[in-house]
A and B are shown apart, each in its own frame.
Chain A
């Protein structure tokens, strides 16, 4: 069934997420946003959104409090590197495994 949103033809493949599977599993560190520092979250107004603009994988939302889709975030860390106020920290994913022993 051709997708009615397209003005012209579609490819034989179906357009959708996860062509490479759940790419969140490629990650060793995940981005965690500190909302008390993030510019739009702090001011309650749309501003900055650089993490949304520069994320190669389209997993950051353009919301006042940006949300990251960890199912697919590949953990590149570009968002953390480019955030002008260092509101994003890359945290080892292992820290989030329930019951994991931490030193």
Chain B
């Protein structure tokens, strides 16, 4: 494993790359993530972004809310475009990082085949999937990663009946050079995982949970508290996979020392989208989490 940098609030750069007054909703989890993530990436980057809330947040003509060069592409081709831009940079002899930022819909559903191809070829790019667990920019339609039981505008009465895709596991099956899961509630963890990803050759995939107040039915001030609850209940695990080896990181690693985690119900009850979630669904989810964490305790203790 590579040595991990340890950035703190105090030594995190004050240089900002995102302007205030942008079009993201109040309390947007993606906005926290993007703002801190770009501090790790620095200016020598080109971003590739498919249609999503991020496109809108980065700015519509004639003002750009981001200070970074962004190529807006079509949904299905994000990883293919990033591949091409990287090839151009190589040809020009530039070390410029090419970073794809896409939503869960743009990654788990529409962009997955281009991403799978880029993974198989081992393209030297960073791919960030921010997962707000639905197609948010078009008004909260269900996506591949929307969790079971979640209300969306396309699952409006009893919630999504299917289990959401485990996208990081699908990516991990491609043996990427680096894979990490992160949360908008722990932006410094994301920052340091990006610093690490920048040092690694090959495809680096970061999957980030980004709570979304209008989509999840939470008050704007609860965004960070909610992402934290997802981690502390053991529902969303923070880990890294390098050379095929999985390690829990930061806040999730610290949970290994705890005898029991916060109950999953606490997380569900904080959100309107789980209002229709049945007791059986909640119990099944808790059982899944317990089983996964029993496995972690066996493995890492």
**Contacts from A to B (Cβ < 8 Å):** 5-23, 26-27, 46-50, 52-59, 62, 69, 71-78, 80-82, 90
A19 lies within 8 A of B26 (CB)? no
Contacts of B64 on A, CB cut-off 8 Å? 11, 13-16, 19
Measured CA separation A73–B27 after assembly (Å)? 10
Within 8 A of A (CB), among B46-66: 46, 59-66
A29 → chain B, closest Cβ, in Å? 9
A14 lies within 8 A of B63 (CB)? yes
B224 lies within 8 A of A54 (CB)? yes
A54 lies within 8 A of B187 (CB)? yes
Query: A53-B9, A74-B27 known; A58 and B19 CB under 8 Å?
Result: yes
A11 lies within 8 A of B69 (CB)? yes
B26 lies within 8 A of A13 (CB)? no
A21 lies within 8 A of B21 (CB)? yes
B232 → chain A, closest Cβ, in Å? 15
Interface of B: prevailing SS = loop
**Interface hub of B12, B19, B70, B188 (most chain A Cβ within 10 A):** B19
Chain B, Cβ-Cβ closest to A56: B31
Measured CA separation A68–B85 after assembly (Å)? 38
Measured CA separation A46–B12 after assembly (Å)? 12
| Cross-chain contact of A57 among B22, B29, B44, B63 (Cβ < 8 A) | B22
Measured CA separation A85–B117 after assembly (Å)? 49
Query: A14-B64, A19-B60, A19-B65 known; A57 and B20 CB under 8 Å?
Result: yes
| Cross-chain contact of A78 among B43, B65, B70, B221 (Cβ < 8 A) | B221
Chain A, Cβ-Cβ closest to B42: A7
Measured CA separation A85–B12 after assembly (Å)? 22
A7 lies within 8 A of B96 (CB)? yes
A12 lies within 8 A of B31 (CB)? no
A19-B63, A55-B32 are known contacts; what are 10 more A-B pairs with Cβ within 8 Å?
A: A8-B94, A11-B64, A12-B61, A18-B63, A19-B23, A46-B10, A54-B32, A56-B26, A56-B27, A57-B22
**Interface size, B (range):** 35 or more
Query: A8-B96, A53-B36 known; A13 and B62 CB under 8 Å?
Result: yes
Q: List 16 A-B contacts (CB under 8 A).
A: A8-B46, A9-B69, A13-B62, A20-B23, A22-B21, A23-B20, A47-B10, A53-B9, A53-B187, A57-B31, A58-B20, A62-B14, A72-B21, A76-B26, A76-B220, A76-B221
B21 lies within 8 A of A19 (CB)? yes
B224 lies within 8 A of A48 (CB)? no
B224 lies within 8 A of A26 (CB)? no
Measured CA separation A14–B59 after assembly (Å)? 10
Measured CA separation A71–B21 after assembly (Å)? 8
Chain B, Cβ-Cβ closest to A21: B21
| Cross-chain contact of B221 among A13, A46, A50, A77 (Cβ < 8 A) | A77
Chain B, Cβ-Cβ closest to A74: B26
Within 8 A of A (CB), among B201-257: 213, 219-225
**Interface hub of A18, A23, A74, A77 (most chain B Cβ within 10 A):** A74
